[in-house]
Amino acid sequence: MRVLGMMGDTLLSVMATTLTIIFILIGDGEDIMMVIIL
């Protein structure tokens, strides 16, 4: 279970990083930063 949890955390981190990069490339970097802060 611990391994699955670590895999889940890693997957979420990768997804969050990818989404952040995509939003920054699109030009909505400020919006995504506000979402992360919230």
pLDDT in tens, 1-38: 577 778 888 888 889 888 888 877 777 656 666 666 65
The whole-angstrom distance between residue 29's C-alpha and the CA centroid of its chain comes to 12
Is 0.95 topped by the overall pTM?
no
> Can you give the pLDDT at residue 24?
76
- Residue 31 CB contacts under 8 Å (≥ 6 apart), including other chains: 23
> Can you give the pLDDT at residue 25?
78
